[in-house]
Amino acid sequence: MSFNAETIPDLMGPEGPLASIMDPYEDRPFQREMALEVARLMETGGTIAIEAPTGIGKSLGYGLPASVWAQSGAGPVVVSTFTKALQEQLLRSEAPRLQQILGSDLNVRVLKGRTNYLCYRRFETERRAATGAGTVA
């Protein structure tokens, strides 16, 4: 399977697979345009900044071309979010929807930074300080 940026908007159009799984389906020309720009950028390289209001469909707008790119074998995709809420939305809502659109599984993982995990040593230090355990009188 090869990657062709020009085919991406068709997946999101009124006759595409997105329309068949969304009830009700709402045609979003800006979303298709965004997806095409992202897909073209993936082919050529570079950077892009896209600003759009909540509810416009940004997650699918970049997620669909990224998923097709990854499935084509063109390379891996990393999506970095600012909030944990968006991480969860992408994992729980958008990834399953993208799998339905593409008719195949996606290899999706959530990676969190070290500040999201408990440091056992620090925990024990704080616990001892709070309870007075481990101190010599």
In this predicted structure, what is the pLDDT of residue 131? 86
Tell if the pTM clears 0.85, that is, is over it. Answer: no
**Alpha helices for the chain (secondary structure H):** 8-12, 17-21, 29-44, 58-71, 84-89, 95-102, 120-131
In whole angstroms, what is the distance from residue 101 CA to residue 22 CA?
10
CA 98 from chain centre, in angstroms, equals 10
Largest CA distance in the chain: 77
pLDDT digits (tens, 9 = 90+) for 27-59: 999 999 999 999 999 999 999 999 999 888 999
Cβ 42 vs Cβ 5: under 8 Å: yes
Nearby residues of 11 by Cβ (< 8 Å), 6 or more positions away: 17, 18, 35, 64, 68, 101
CA distance 104 to 84: 26
pLDDT in tens, 107-137: 999 988 888 889 999 999 999 999 876 655 5
